[in-house]
């Protein structure tokens, strides 16, 4: 009888332990000692063999462009707006008027009115483009020491020409004689790349109800846009 009693007791203990384990699996696991279960971090999602988790499908990794892939149009546009000279030349003929050209002309006018050449640099031929165009030694130095220096002197001289009327003068338009523009072939002007060039552009402004004009000696193109390279004369 004692043997049977011992077996019965062991069987009962096993049932109790099994029920206890089942209760633990159905409820929240006991928090470690000293940790509040209400603020303890949740466990991460469980990854399955199919690559998904109990929180949903696995996210696709971000992809980057291959070295030979063309950049998205938006990215190319941003680069072109920030530094057009970092991109290759095109044979596109510039328009006589466009929103971008009007903005650059307004920047030059602002520079003349305030006698601040730095405000007008947006309309000046970019140094990065000049480095691509000119077949000379140290083009960046030539751009800075000769062309930009002359541009700044010309802006100051035009401001002096406006005199006391500078603050009241209003920009009316930029007249570009596009019918006179011609394509300059490589090697014509110490250049290794071609560009469109036009002489005789005028900055038309108004003072006391009358229109007047300032002459711009030479514009040349980069990627289908006009830029100043000589403002007053050739220096």
Domain ranges of the chain: 85-229
The two structure tokens encoding residue 227:
């830029």
Q: Is the pLDDT of residue 233 over 80?
A: yes
Q: Is the pLDDT of residue 215 over 80?
A: yes
Percentage of residues in the chain having pLDDT higher than 70:
66
Which residues are bridge partners to 211 per DSSP? Answer: 206
Query: What pLDDT, on the 0 to 100 scale, is given for residue 235?
Result: 80
The two structure tokens encoding residue 144:
């800075």
Please give the C-alpha separations between residue 41 and each of 38, 52, 150, 167, in angstroms, as whole numbers.
9, 21, 68, 66
Query: What pLDDT, on the 0 to 100 scale, is given for residue 81?
Result: 57
Span 63-90, pLDDT tens digits? 333 333 333 333 333 334 579 999 999 9
Q: Is the pLDDT of residue 201 over 50?
A: yes
The two structure tokens encoding residue 15:
């049932």
What's 176's DSSP letter? -
Q: Which residues contact 173 (CB under 8 A, 6 or more apart)?
A: 97, 204
For residues 41 and 159, the model is more confident at: 159
Mean per-residue pLDDT for 166-179? 96
What's 232's DSSP letter? S
Mean per-residue pLDDT for 219-233? 97
Q: Considering only 14-28, 101-115, 147-161, which range has the smallest mean pLDDT?
A: 14-28
Q: Is the pLDDT of residue 41 over 60?
A: no
Mean per-residue pLDDT for 5-23? 43
User: Rounded distance, CA 182 to CA 77, Å?
Assistant: 27
Query: What pLDDT, on the 0 to 100 scale, is given for residue 3?
Result: 46
Q: Which residues contact 24 (CB under 8 A, 6 or more apart)?
A: 30
Asked whether the beta carbons of 191 and 133 are under 8 A apart, the reply is yes
Mean per-residue pLDDT for 101-121? 98
Confidence of residue 15 (pLDDT cuts 50, 70, 90): very low
User: Rounded distance, CA 148 to CA 125, Å?
Assistant: 9
- Planar angle of CA 132, 110, 115, nearest 5 degrees: 95
Query: What pLDDT, on the 0 to 100 scale, is given for residue 32?
Result: 41
């Amino acid at each position: 009888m004692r043997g049977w009693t011992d077996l019965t007791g062991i069987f009962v203990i096993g049932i109790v332990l099994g029920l206890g384990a089942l209760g633990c699996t159905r409820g929240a696991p006991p928090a470690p000692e000293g940790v509040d279960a209400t603020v303890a971090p949740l466990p991460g999602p469980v990854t399955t063999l199919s690559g998904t988790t109990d929180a949903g499908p696995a996210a696709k990794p971000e992809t980057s462009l291959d070295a030979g892939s063309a950049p998205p149009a938006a990215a190319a546009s941003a680069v072109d707006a920030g530094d057009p000279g970092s991109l290759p030349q095109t044979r596109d003929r510039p328009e006589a008027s466009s929103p971008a050209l009007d903005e650059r002309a307004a920047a030059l006018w602002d520079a003349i009115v305030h006698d601040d050449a730095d405000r007008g640099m947006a309309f000046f031929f970019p140094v990065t483009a000049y480095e691509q165009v000119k077949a000379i030694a140290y083009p960046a130095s030539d751009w800075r020491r000769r062309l930009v220096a002359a541009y700044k002197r010309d802006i100051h001289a035009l401001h002096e020409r406006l005199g006391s009327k500078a603050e009241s003068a209003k920009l009316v338009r930029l007249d570009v004689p596009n019918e006179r523009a011609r394509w300059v072939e490589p090697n014509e002007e110490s250049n290794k790349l071609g560009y469109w060039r036009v002489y005789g552009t005028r900055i038309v402004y108004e003072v006391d109800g009358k229109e007047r004009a300032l002459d711009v000696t030479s514009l040349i193109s980069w990627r289908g846009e006009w830029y100043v390279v000589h403002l007053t004369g050739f220096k």
